[in-house]
Structure 1
């Protein structure tokens, strides 16, 4: 059987089922990456890893709620001597998990030009995509002494050969699909037609896709898949619909989404029966001045308040935290 193409939306038969006692759970994923200027063109050299020590505080924060976060680590962070100090012990003691995040423009071998098109790893030749991923996987295994089981492509950049490469690497879960987002204008994937629920890529191949959670909210939410893409040339109309509380796209992230919006998104996801809610954010937001979302200490306090409120709301709703290992134990194999 040929390897599946992760760019293709799955069929209904590929939907993943979970054991009855799994219930509804949530997963915290951290895109653990270098700092760079978000407004500047991508640069192979123009980055730092100053925020790596801030991972320790977030780890301790999560542990206070009984949460096992998943750190999706890229090459610059994996090569920082500080990352093992920050989260290494937590990973070894199963208080945290580590996965792979591939930013191809800063991940060797450097055999391609740095362009927007090449920043989506799935656009690279299969040999180069494989070489970058394998080298990063080996580095992560050296640093953390564990084999990563989950992958996220930087910029959500899956390609036609990514599934085959992940299978070669022994990766059990991909979490690169950002459902209800379209990156094709930049040369990237279009995930508008992909579902939110976990699914098997190719059925019997046993590569589980765990999409990031983005919800349509409002009276028009059932028409979101039809309406929202038609407004990509006129983002102002999207804003008007949101202000009128008719239709809003809510990603489960503290970056650019208010606590109140996120809770509305959580409620819709739970009402729709989504088995796993996947939260995500970028690790440079754990220190002031490195992302547009956390410019100062007040913003950082607000980020932690956001997480605190979401954790408390999820607990009140009976939604338990989960981890990669628990998901693999809870899912029914095809």
Structure 2
């Protein structure tokens, strides 16, 4: 059975509940991928994996704060022996989680043309999306000795039948929905109307959607979803509104978001009662020169400083780190007592 599409905003009845005492928590997700030129057309061959060993330092950094990071791994990384060397022990001992991230242009089987439209895996023919997912999932399990239970589509590219594939492969959490963002102009999904709160993506409550956290800040934030879609023709107006303190869209990421902005975003998410705050960034930012956000050593130091600032603030606000297994055990316990 296909069930509802992950592309459709859910009804209020799909909202997930958590066990009493769960409170508010946060999870750090890492889009763990190859390095490539973000300004060049996508290419199956033009990439490298030199930043994979840097995962070891980030893992140790997280452990120092009691944080269990979730590494969402794509095919080139899954095939690199450097990945299990860097984080395999942490995964085996529950200090890190691994999940699936599908970049279709570098994931076999290679049957499609490499285009921007096809870079969203959900745009591919169903059987090809399915074959790529199976190949990647199996490769990750082989590399790390554990079956992944969480998924993020590369470029947030869910499709109308992605949920079928995830349920078939034992994936319990999808975290591809980037609420408050619309990628339809490039052929991708539109998540503008999706909620931030975790929700069940199927009637059988076997697949939990854990949207990435993005909030609006400022006096106009209640109208953010009305105003932002009209600014694509004049993107400079976004900066004008933000500098004027009227409206700002804040994603919980160190990439392009200052610590000061992120702290405001965290406080809004907490005050709105969001049970799980989902942070994200790209693993090539863990070494200088591979993303627009970390060009040199000073930028790398700033990235780690960003995380230190956010971790300290979350602790002060009483928001504890969580993990894939913790989320699943907590939400399953709560939902099992609700009427169907």
Question: Residue 42 of structure 1 aligns with which residue?
Answer: 42
Matches within 5 A, 1:99-248: 99-248=99-248
1:330 aligned to 2:319?
no
Question: Residue 55 of structure 2 aligns with which residue?
Answer: 55
Distance 1:315 1:102 in 2: 33
Is 1:3–1:205's contact at 8 Å kept on the other side of the alignment? no
Shift of 1:205: 4.1
- The one-character-per-residue Cα deviations of 1:5-47 (angstroms, maximum 9, x if unpaired) are 0000000000001111100000000000000000000000000
Shift of 1:333: 2.9
Distance 2:185 2:219 in 1: 29
Distance 1:53 1:83 in 2: 7
Distance 2:106 2:71 in 1: 18
1:304 aligned to 2:304?
yes
Shift of 1:4: 1.6
Q: TM-score of the superposition, structure 1-length normalised?
A: 0.99
Distance 1:236 1:144 in 2: 45
Is 2:3–2:203's contact at 8 Å kept on the other side of the alignment? no
Is 2:2–2:163's contact at 8 Å kept on the other side of the alignment? no
Shift of 1:236: 1.2
Matches within 5 A, 1:283-294: 283-294=283-294
Is 1:55–1:87's contact at 8 Å kept on the other side of the alignment? yes
- The one-character-per-residue Cα deviations of 1:193-248 (angstroms, maximum 9, x if unpaired) are 00000000123242100000001000111111111111121111111100100000
Uncovered stretches (5+) of structure 2, i.e. residues with no partner? none
Q: What SS does structure 2 have at the residue aligned with 1:53?
A: helix
Uncovered stretches (5+) of structure 1, i.e. residues with no partner? none
Distance 2:58 2:146 in 1: 21
Q: What SS does structure 1 have at the residue aligned with 2:131?
A: helix
Aligned length: 334
Q: TM-score of the superposition, structure 2-length normalised?
A: 0.97
Is 1:4–1:164's contact at 8 Å kept on the other side of the alignment? no
Distance 1:77 1:151 in 2: 15
